[in-house]
Structure 1
C-alpha cells in the first residue's frame, strides 16, 4: 500500500535538505536587481538573469552596511545562503554581503550622494560666495605634516608677506577624518577675523580622499559663513567638496594664489595708479571751480548785488498794500456787525423783561414756602398720631393702671389655649412679678 506524504511533511523534508546542504550554506551569486522598492527596514526583491529569477532577502543591518543604495536594474555580486520557507514552499537567498558588479561601491555611493545633494541645490552657483580681494588672515584645514601647508605658506609669503595663516591641524584620511574636517570648519566659523578658508590634502585613491565625499563635510562647507577654497587631491581628482566649495583649486599653490588674488607689488602699483587718478581728478575739479569763480566775479549781479533783491522789495510792497486794504475791509465789516447787534439789543427792552422775571421768581418763592409749611404741618400731625398709637401699646402703662401680664417661657400668653396644667408662669404687676404654677385651666364657653 502506497503511503502519501502531507505537503507540510514534504516541505519540512526539503527544508532540512536545504539547511544541511554544504553547497547552499554560502552561495556566490551574480544577478540583476528586480522588483526593488526600498522599505523602512528589511529589503525584499529579486535577482535575475536572462533565464531564471530567485527571491532575495536582505536584513536591515546588512543593508545599512552596504555603502551604496540598491536600485532597480543594478547588477550586483551577492554572497549569502539559500533557504526554503516552509509555509509557501518557496526558496530564496538571504544576502549577507553585496557589491556592484563591474564598479566599486564607493563610486556608486559617490554618484548617488552627488545626485541627492545636487537635487537639494547645494552645488548651485547662486550660493557661491565671492572671495575677498584683500585678505589679512587665512585659515587652513589640513594635516600639519603634509606638503599642503608648506606649499600654501611659501606661496602666500611670496605673493603677499604679512598675511597671517591660521592652521587647524586635521586628520584628512581614515576613520574620523570626516568628523574632524567638519568640526574644524565649524570652529573656524566661530572666529570673526578669518577672511577665507582653504580645505585640502594631497592626492590619493578614492578611498584616501573619501573623507571629502562625506555628507557631513559637504554640508559643513555649504553652511560656512567664511568663503572656502577646496584643494583636494591632484588636478584630475574630484570630490564632492570641490562641487560645494566657493572655489576649487587644482593644487595647494593655486589655492594660495586664489586666497591672495593680488601680490604686494600689484597692490602697490594699484595704489600708485589710484593716487595718480585722484590727483588728476582733484586738479581738474579745482580748475573747473576756478573758472566758475572767475565767471561769477565778472557777472552783472556780482558787480551790482542790489539787483538780487529788487524783485523781493517790489513783492513786499505789493503784499503790504494788499494787507492794508484787507484789514480796512475786515474792520468795516466788523464795525457794521457791531452796530446791528447794538440795535437789536435796544429793541429787546432788557430792563422790562428782567423786572418781569424777578417778579415771577418772587411768586415762585412764596408759593414754595407755603407748600413747604403745609407739608410740614401734615407730617407733624401724622407723627403725633403714630406716637399716640405707640403709647397705647406700651405694656408698662397698661400694668401701671392695675392690670397684670402673664408670660410663659418669656413670651406673653394671650390665651388659655397656650397654657396647660402644671405650667410655670410669670405674672408681671406694677411693682414686681410673681412665679405661679397652674393647677387648673378653664376656658369660657361663650368665647
Structure 2
C-alpha cells in the first residue's frame, strides 16, 4: 500500500501546484490515508470517505479511481519487509509441509501472518453458490451470509451497496445466489469474509421470475412503449458500438457493414453474466456524451442466465433514456432480453443490424445508379436528336453559304469600283489642299513680317518711357507707407520712407522739409 500512498501524495502535490493552492485544499492527509485503507472502487464508496463529497468527486474522483485501479495488482498482494520475508518462507513451509523435510520453528506477528494469508487468499478468485440465510444493510455496505444446502456450511459475505445495486438482485432470505469475489480476513476482528463484487440468481426458474417481474414493472411505466421508439437517422455516419472484442459477433458486424464511410467508435465490454453490467453501463454513459448518430449493442445467443446483464433494470433504463436511437441485437433462446424491448430497433442478429444501418445508404446507391442509367438514356436521345438537327442544318447552311458567296462576289466588285472613284476624289482634294497651304504660308509670312515691325516700334516706345531707365540715370522713386511720394507737401518730418534706386532700395527718415521757390 506504500506505493499507492506515494502515488496519491505525488498526484496531490501535482494538482496543488497546478492550481496554486495549499495541499489540504485538494485533499487532506486523512482522506488519502482512508483511501489507501478502504480501496474504494466506485463513486459511492469514494464519497463515503470523510472530506470527499460530490464537488470533490466531480473534480478529482475519476483520477483517484484510476490510480486505485492501476495499483490493484500490487494492493492485492501486500508487500512485506526483508524480515517478514523470512517469516513468509517459514509460513510457506508450514502451509506446504510435504515440500520440506523439517520445519523451522518461527514466531510470526499477527499482522504479518494475516497479511501473508490475505495475499494468498486474494489469488483465490471464486464464484460461490449458496442460500441466503441473513442480510443487513449498514452504512454503504451489505452484510449477508450464505450456506451450503448439503451440510449447512456458512460463509459471511461483505459487499458494497453500489455493487449490490448494480447486481439487480432483490436480496431475500432463502434465495439461492452465486457470489463472485475473493476472501479476506479482516485484521481488526480476525474474521474471514468473502468480499463479493457481483451476485446473481441461480437457476432458470429464479431468473425467469425476476425477468417477468421486471418486465411487468417497466412495461407499466411505459419503458417499452412503441410511441417512444425512434427511427434511425437517414444516412448514419457516426456509430457507437458496444460488444466484446473477443466475440465473433464484432467480426460479423464489421464484415457486413457497408463501405459507406462509417466512423465506428468501439467500447469493449463484457457481455456474459451479471458481471457485465458495470462494463455495459460505463460504455452507455460514455457514448451518451459523444457525437454519434446511433448506438449499437450486440452479442451472440445465450441462455437466460448468460444474458442477465441485458435483463438488468439499470441497463434497460439506460438504453431507454439514451439521447440517440439505439439498435440492440441480442441472441436469445425464448424470452426477448428486456434491453431489446427498450431499444428503438431490435434486429435478431448483428448481420440484420448492418442491414438496417446500410438501408438508407443502399437505397441512395440504388437511386443514384437508376438515375445515372435514366440520365444516360435521355442524354443519348438528346444527342441523336441534336445530330439529326445538325445534319439538316448543315445542308441548309451549305446552300445558304453558296448564295452568300455569290452575293459577296457582286458586292466585292461594287466595292472595288467605289474604291477607285474614291481614290481619284482623294487625289484631287489632296492637290487642292496642297495649293491652299502654299498660298496660306505665303500670306502668313507677309503678315508676320508686318507684325514684327509693329512690335519693334512699340518696344522702342516702351523702352523710352520705362521708369527704371530713369533710375539708371541717377533718379530715384520714393515710397511711404501711404504710397508714392510725389511732392514735399505730402511729406511729414519724422516720417520714414523707402527710396528705390536702379540696383536696390534705401530706407530713410525725413528730418527736414524745404520747398523750392
Q: Do Structure 1 and Structure 2 share a fold, with TM-score over 0.5? A: no
- Structure 2 length normalisation: TM-score? 0.33
- Structure 1 length normalisation: TM-score? 0.38
Of Structure 1 and Structure 2, the greater helix share is in 2
Higher-RCO chain (CA-CA 8 Å, sequence separation at least 6): 1
